[in-house]
Amino acid sequence: MRRGKTRTLDRAMPVLAIEVHLNGDKITVAGANELSVLTAAVSAVRLKAGAAPEISLQVGGITSREHLDWITKQGLKPGDSVTLRVLEVEEADPPVQSLRVPCSQELRAVAAAEGRRERGLTARSRATRRKRRAPKRGR
């Protein structure tokens, strides 16, 4: 008999998650199986000198196959309180948005198809053609 940890199939594995509260109200519990990345960020961007900054909250993650978003751009204002708590949960909230990431074989196939579709000159051949058409100096 082998020693070590065994997985029970009838119980779900805990999921690493971030619980997000805004001004005391729970917004989401972000997390998913097979996450490679899980992030929560508050950012402030001032687009013009002297203008008020745009403050936002974003929560997202990446698996091997998808980009996931639980909060895409929650507007914040000075004085707002954002609380993050790192948890392990049996089940997290589903993301509000997900974008499938193509595998490397799909990317290669698309690149090959686009290469076949391109007709015309490369940057190098355009420069060579311009040189050939340019009038010769000193003759």
Which sequence spans correspond to the domains of the chain?
15-101
Per-residue pLDDT of the chain (139 residues; tens, 9 = 90+): 445 544 445 566 899 999 999 999 999 999 998 889 999 999 999 989 989 899 999 999 999 889 999 999 899 999 999 999 999 999 999 999 999 888 888 888 888 777 655 555 555 666 666 666 667 666 5
Q: How far apart are CA 102 and CA 109, in angstroms?
A: 11
Q: What share of the chain is helix, strand, coil (3-state, %, to 5)?
A: 20, 40, 40
Cut 0.85: pTM above it:
no
